[in-house]
Structure 1
Amino acid sequence: MTVILLRNGNVYSPADPFATAMVVEDGTIAWIGAEGAAEAHTSSADEIVDLAGALVVPAFVDAHVHATATGLALSGLDLSGLRAGGPGDGLDRIAAHARTLPADAVVLGQGWDEPAFASGVPDIAALDRAVGDRPAYLSRIDVHSALASSALRAAVPGLAGLDGYDPAGPLTGAAHHAVRAAAHAALTSGQRVAAQRAARAEAARLGIGTLVECAGPEIAGEEDPALLLKLAAEEAGPEVVAYWGEAVETAAQARELMARHGAHGLGGDLFADGSLGSHTACLHAPYTDRPGTHGLAHLGPDAIAAHLAACTEAGVQAGFHAIGDAAVDAVVAGARAAADRFGAGPVRALRHRVEHAELVGDAAVAAFADLGLVASVQPGFDAAWGGPDGMYARRLGAERAARMNPFATLNRAGVPLAFGSDAPVTPLDPWGTVRAAAFHRTAEQRISVRAAFNAHTRGGHRSLGRDDEGVLVPGAPATYAVWRTGELTVQAPDQRLSAWSTDPSSGTPGLPDLSPDAELPVCERTVVRGVEIYRAGR
């Protein structure tokens, strides 16, 4: 038996708000308490870690990621944040990256937005001039539309007949899914694994202990999650839980897909709709900046209801990507139909998930709470696109934009929240994610730092059915991260951004000051089930 004593720090635990020390025995937390009592454990400890005032918290769960695409963005062509006329104009960056590749290599990039290009989003002729004869796939920041070169388009039979096809501009819908599949099929297994290693290493460096991979036939194909799960089983690093986004009609189909893919559930990015940035999120009322356009329903209400019914009958957790209010309402209607058929209890027990759930009406919020639907959400979306001048306001107008990402409304209603990044759409950044929720651009939708932290730790585990994980208490798995941070505070949501307290008499465990001008904590060590997967300086 290996015993590790961590002492002389701050341990974030409901078991003892004033804990400064923790004992880990063979991957399980054995004791948490005060420094004075820690002395009794020194003689039995195989290793003593002097925390020197550092903070120990549960490791984060990123509830929605795409590991291969994240790794490719970390090591390849990242177009995010570019602005026309700046030092890294989009077309110049694309051309420069293409010149570094072999003549037959696929050019993969992600993260562009319209302001990245000096002359507007390039048409196919401009893209071909930049990449030459190479196949090129360059996804927009929301990964729901993409630029595709002539060489890549030629590799997809029947592309011109698919929904979302544009002969010169970005592709959306089924056409986008087809070119994405073709581009990712050009990756070798070695390239995929290298990208997945890069993503897991970055997650470990950021104190993330669990990655929830949202895979599917329209994401990166069957080989991709199989390689990732194999890698996670063979190499130390963050745990990986994979969802497979493919619709079924029967319980037998659900069980067969679960077994074939080693999936935790049939959901994740099972697309009910698209994204707001690409005008493909499905809305009841039309887009403000594109009148007459309501977006795309990738799955109709009948298909959504059939999937939820089949998964509920099979005892399988289901889920959907749903951003617009029409798509969210279609998922709610399907869950209601499943509850009418099998009873509300079995539906609640399975904790079916809704990924993103950005524009959610009051009736849908109540249904989420009633049916136990998990809102797997990304606060980084609001940080990137919220506010009066953001993309949401341009797409939807001020009134609807102010209702986007309603974290406080969902939290007050008792809806289970699980936080993630949708990396590479927004970066792996757990403390930044907690900050984004606590300082939502719409003041009424801010939640406390403590509630946001719980959604990014324990909430992620609960969304996976792991009710005993994500908290530091005796008997729990020793999955934690050690952080160098400033003063610890008790922070509540406040429109004035000033509701901070360091009063220890509150009995509430303190967390780092995440106010907008504060420096974010720096990870020193990440441990998963007693196995160290990251240490600063190594």
Structure 2
Amino acid sequence: MTERTDRTVLLRGGNVYSPADPFATAMLVEGAHIAWVGSDGAAEAYAATADEVVDLNGALVTPAFVDAHAHATSAGLALTGLDLTGCPSLADALDRIAGAARTADGVLIGHGWDETGWPEGRPPTLAELDTAAGGAAAYLSRTDVHSALATTALRTLADGLAAQPGFDPDGPLSQDAHHAVRRAALAHLTAAQRRAAQQATLARAAELGIGALHECAGPAISSEEDLTELLALAAEGTGPEVFGYWGELGAVDTALRLGAVGAGGDLFADGALGSHTACLHAPYEDAGHTGAAYLTAAQIADHVAACTEAGLQAGFHAIGDAAVDAVVEGVRAAADRVGLPAVRALRHRVEHAEALDEESIAAFAELGLTASVQPAFDAAWGGPDGMYVQRLGAKRAAALNPYAALLRAGVPLAFGSDAPVTPLDPWGTVRAAAFHRTPEHRISVRAAFTAHTRGGWRALGRDADGVLVPGAVASYAVWAVEELVVQAPDSRVAGWSTDPRSGTPGLPDLTPGNPLPACLRTVVRGRTVHLA
């Protein structure tokens, strides 16, 4: 939908989540910026001259969400293609693959299988996969996107596959072998298919009140063409904003040429726990090894120093404790080389950062690192019977994703989905952080909401955005809610308050079992990109 960029819009009769006025019920937007927040009574002065008056009927207005880690094309392919998420068994997964293969045009692409919950306890063999796919070329990423099933027909399209680390002649491919078959599959997408997938992701994000995405691109996960086309699509202004990261070691010039805001994102220091490729100090409980290390501390130091000298943010994917420690060691070495203030000023990022201890958390605070994390990981794989316990045992699993400790140490958090690893689901993400499966890691709903709104902007170095105050960018969402509550200061203690004397803006009650808010409208820089 096309709108004038100089329109004046008055919203009234609701609840405006604003630190400028915790009791605000109205908001005035002029063009791309917020001009005023206040009461309905005071809003009458603006009603006659506004181009549009929106009667909220009690709805909640908040800053739009920011998804700080996403993969738009892959997420869109999962939305529009073969979705294996939630398959109850190997047999069911093979049935879905067979059904999709019958109508597939070109390479069959799917996502989301997870053998850890299947009664068979294993992924399909290559023969089973080839039979289900009917001989077609198929790429089917595991739920963590760090390994994949690839049919024989697709394997033949990847040169030198058998010599790549992570190659398995009969099972899922990981590490470099996985990257090779993913490149082969994505290379067969047409421009129209890629654009349709990206449009699907941006449309879905807008429907969920997401006003901005951080796209984590790179040569191992997408392509230069993919990133430039996504940024061009976002620049059309019909959906959320997109900020690109290019995850290639030493590629400062490439990141700048592509219009990326950072040389990082999914610059892999290791892999993922589910695929046994996250790099650990001690072996996996269910495998006789410690995972895969893709970068040394020296390589990390060189990259961070080069980025810092260029004034460009760096970032690394690091999940296992050994990978996190390598990143910390490398960033500290870069700080010794170019100066700690210069390193801290750029707020270099660590994506996922799941296995942290007190020492690494303190190092994040010291070095000014931003933790770009995904609470839905804990919701999906945490708990006493989850994949984390299968891979690491109960003690190590219970230490993962320590959000409360990060906040206590002053480490900034930015929340994302890593879509398609977990779906775009901002309120679900806030709930997952507030009701972490390990109680001592829980944070308040307010803190989680901040991490998923203002935290994404702060991760970009834009501290003034992500908040509804006069002068701020008008990127906001309108929500149908039943009741607004204020969580108790200690989220580990049950307690909610509706007392207006608290002077604190209320948020929806996200207690598990309660319905999540429904998005009525999403506005990005004054432009409506979703209207229910």
For the pair 1:402 / 2:398, whether they are aligned, the reply is yes
Quick one: which amino acid aligns to residue 366 of structure 1? A
The whole-number CA distance in structure 2 between the counterparts of 1:271 and 1:396 is 21
Q: Paired residues, what number?
A: 526
Q: Verify: 1:190 aligned to 2:192, yes or no.
A: yes
Q: Which deviates more from structure 2 when the two are superposed, residues 422-431 or residues 491-500?
A: 491-500
Residue 137 of structure 2 corresponds to: 135
What's the CA shift for 1:366?
A: 0.3
CA–CA distance in 1 between the matches of 2:286 and 2:496? 40
C-alpha contact 1:144 1:173 (8 A) present in aligned 2? yes
The alignment partner of 1:29 has SS state of strand
- Listed one character per residue, the Cα deviations across residues 44-81 of structure 1 (whole Å, up to 9, x for unaligned) are 21111000000000000000000011111111101011
SS in 1 for 2:50: coil
Matched residue of 2:276: which SS?
coil
Matched, 1:416 2:412: yes
Aligned match of 1:507: 503
Alignment partner of 1:476 out of 472, 479, 482: 472
1:23 equivalent to 2:28? Answer: yes
Question: Can you give the 5+ residue segments of structure 1 that lack an aligned partner in the other structure?
Answer: none
Cα offset, 1:152, TM superposition = 0.8
- Residue 261 of structure 1 corresponds to which residue in structure 2? 258
What amino acid does structure 1 have at the position aligned with 2:281? H
Query: Contact 1:84/1:115 (CA < 8 Å) preserved in 2?
Result: no
1:272-283 paired onto structure 2 within 5 Å: 272-283=269-280
Tell me the distance in 2 between the aligned counterparts of 1:470 and 1:496.
27
Q: What SS does structure 2 have at the residue aligned with 1:318?
A: strand
**Cα-to-partner distance string for 1:185-213 (whole Å, 9 max, x where unaligned):** 11011100000000000000000000110
* Aligned residue runs from structure 1 range 202-213, under 5 A: 202-213=204-215
User: Structure 2 unaligned runs (5+)?
Assistant: 1-5
Match of 1:425 in 2: 421
Letter in 2 for 1:508: T
User: What SS class does the counterpart of residue 262 from structure 2 fall into?
Assistant: coil
Instruction: Find out whether 1:48 has 2:53 as its counterpart.
Output: yes
Which residue matches 2:83? 78
Take 2:492 and 2:216, find their aligned partners in 1: how far apart are those partners? 37
Match among 337, 356, 359 for residue 352 of structure 2: 356
Aligned mates of 1:532, 1:471 — CA distance in 2? 18
Backbone CA RMSD of aligned residues? 1.2
Letter aligned with residue 151 of structure 1: A
The Cα shift of 1:310 comes to: 1.0
Residue 106 (1) aligns with residue 107 (2): yes
The answer to whether the 8 A contact 1:446-1:493 is kept is no
Output one character per residue of 1:461-486: Cα deviation in whole Å (capped at 9) or x when no partner. 00011111000000001100000001
CA contact (8 A) 2:264 2:316 kept: yes
Supply the distance in 1 between the matched residues of 2:276 and 2:125 (Cα, whole angstroms).
18
* Structure 1 position 284 matched with structure 2 position 281: yes
Please state how far the C-alpha of 1:117 moved relative to its aligned partner: 5.6
Quick one: distance in 2 between partners of 1:448 and 1:370?
24
What's the CA shift for 1:361? 1.5
CA contact (8 A) 1:11 1:57 kept: yes
Question: Which position in structure 1 is the counterpart of 2:388?
Answer: 392
Contact 2:478 2:521 in 1 (8 A): yes
Partner of 2:443, secondary structure, is coil
CA deviation profile, 1:337-370 (whole Å, cap 9, x unmatched)? 1111111111110000000000012111001111
| Paired residue secondary structure (2:223) | coil
Structure 2 contact 383–438 (Cα < 8 Å) conserved: yes
Deviation at 1:262, TM superposition (A): 1.1
Identity rate of aligned residues, in percent? 67
The match for 2:3 is none
Cα pair 2:442 2:492 within 8 Å, conserved: no
Partner residue, 1:180: 182
1:268 counterpart letter in structure 2: G
Give the match for residue 95 of structure 2.
Answer: 92
Alignment of 1:207-246 (within 5 A): 207-246=209-248
- 1:309 Cα deviation after fit: 1.3
Decide whether the 8 Å contact of 2:444 with 2:491 is kept in 1.
no
1:516 counterpart residue number: 512
Relative to the length of structure 1, the TM-score reads 0.96
Secondary structure of the equivalent of 1:304?
helix
How far is the alpha carbon of 1:258 from its aligned partner? Answer: 2.3
| Partner Cα distance (1:320, 1:398) in 2 | 27
Partner-residue secondary structure (3-state), 2:129:
helix
On the 8 A contact 2:150/2:172 being kept in 1, the answer is yes
Equivalent residues of 2:116, 2:387 under 8 A apart:
no
The CA distance in 1 between the partners of 2:430 and 2:237, in whole Å, is: 28
TM-score (norm 2): 0.97
Question: Aligned equivalents of 2:146 and 2:512: distance in 1?
Answer: 30
